[in-house]
Amino acid sequence: MKEFELIKHYFSEQIVKRKDVVKGIGDDCAVIAPIENQNIVVTTDTLVAGVHFPLTTCPRAIGHKAVAVNLSDIAAMGAKPSWISLALTLPEVDEAWLAEFCAGVFELCEFYNVELIGGDTTQGPLSITITAQGLTPVNSYLSRSGAKTGDWIYVTGELGDAALALQQIKGEVSIEEHFVESIQTKLDFPKPKVLAGQVIREYASSAIDISDGLIADLGHICQASNVGANIVLDALPLSNALRESLLEDDAIALALAGGDDYELLFTVSEDNKVGMETALSNSGTKITCIGQLNASQTISTTLNNKPVPINSVGFEHFSQS
């Protein structure tokens, strides 16, 4: 199957057909007509086989995750996802693999009313690059730079399960059988917190999605906002799988630095705290307050009201040898 046959067969037919897409797949460029009085937010993420997902990962999960990690960035801006483009590099054309990969891509696109509007295919080591775009009302979006001293730090969901699943795959930890499926799902099929992002847009002072690990991503907020933070380790939302599979210190370390959670980390002022908690409760989103910002410009942690050192920094895209 040649390139354009591949594109037509696997990527041109999709359920989502948005009214704001004037011309989608099949031309030199897509043409979109954004809604008046809306900002467009744009993000791009690349997943490389063996780096961002294990080589044994099923193609459906790869397709799902490639879309999910981009929509998670859109969620962190408080935006509503609208369109994606896909650049897919394949070692060879494997039609069974492609069918499952596309099922993962389009399943998530359909759920969030996102249309695939173009991209590219080429031959080489397996990698997937997606550019996602979303919409927010004019001048109404979240960023990393709005946090203030005294703001409270929140996260959605639970932390550390995806990293635990990766350790289990590598044979570094033994997990009880009844936990394996749930943590593997967290790793392979993350759920971007799109609705939560749109809700907190009205309340939060800053936000980021947790992809590289809590400490690393909180560090981005602190740097952009020129603040410091203290995390209360006792408050970290840990699953039963994490608590029962690891010693306390190891469980906390994964929650702080494991990465691949794709939960939202955000800050809220004292005045907006109650309104935000009520709004998210009504949306069915689980949140946890894990600390508070300060003027120190450093990140500290406490356990049982006592300071403890931080030994984990999170995922590094370019580690030094």
| CATH (domain of 7) | 3.30.1330.10
For 153, the token pair is 């730090």
Residues marked as binding for substrate? 52, 260, 315
**């959605």: which residue's tokens?**
156
Do 158 and 229 reside in the same domain of the chain? yes
Do 81 and 178 reside in the same domain of the chain? no
Residues marked as binding? 28, 43-45, 52, 73, 119-120, 144, 209, 211-212, 260, 315
pLDDT tens series, the chain, 321 aa: 666 677 676 777 777 888 888 887 777 788 989 888 999 999 999 999 998 999 999 999 999 999 999 999 999 999 999 999 999 999 998 999 999 999 999 999 999 999 999 999 999 999 999 999 999 999 899 999 999 999 999 999 999 999 999 999 999 999 999 999 999 999 999 999 999 999 999 999 999 999 999 999 999 999 999 999 999 999 999 999 999 999 999 999 999 999 999 999 999 999 999 999 999 999 899 999 999 999 999 999 999 999 998 776 554 444 544
Do 195 and 288 reside in the same domain of the chain? yes
pTM higher than the cut 0.85? yes
Do 129 and 248 reside in the same domain of the chain? no
Query: What's the rounded Cα separation, in Å, for the pair 139 and 312?
Result: 36
Do 212 and 302 reside in the same domain of the chain? yes
* Phi, psi values for residue 270, rounded to 5°: -55, -40
For 223, the token pair is 């740097």
Query: What's the rounded Cα separation, in Å, for the pair 225 and 79?
Result: 20
Decide: 312 and 251 in contact? Cβ < 8 Å. no
Do 126 and 235 reside in the same domain of the chain? no
What CATH number is associated with residue 188?
A: 3.90.650.10
**């936000």: which residue's tokens?**
207
Residues marked as binding for ATP? 119-120, 144, 211
Do 71 and 130 reside in the same domain of the chain? yes
Of 84, 183, 189, 184, the residue nearest 128 (C-alpha): 84
Do 288 and 156 reside in the same domain of the chain? yes
The total of structural domains in the chain comes to 2
pLDDT tens per residue, range 142-187: 999 999 999 999 999 999 999 999 999 999 999 999 999 999 999 9
Res 19: pLDDT? 87
How far is the first Cα of the chain from the last one, in angstroms, to the nearest whole number? Answer: 41
Res 85: pLDDT? 95
Do 257 and 302 reside in the same domain of the chain? yes
Query: Which structural domain, as residue segments, surrounds residue 96?
Result: 3-137
Per the domain annotation, does 108 fall within a domain? yes
Do 178 and 269 reside in the same domain of the chain? yes
Q: Which domain-ending residue is among 106, 137, 168?
A: 137
Secondary structure E strands in the chain: 21-23, 31-32, 38-48, 80-90, 115-123, 127-137, 152-156, 204-209, 228-232, 264-268, 287-294, 299-303, 306-308
Res 103: pLDDT? 95
Residues marked as binding for Mg(2+)? 28, 43-45, 73, 120, 209, 212
Per the domain annotation, does 84 fall within a domain? yes
Do 133 and 156 reside in the same domain of the chain? no
Per the domain annotation, does 320 fall within a domain? no
Query: What's the rounded Cα separation, in Å, for the pair 210 and 241?
Result: 19
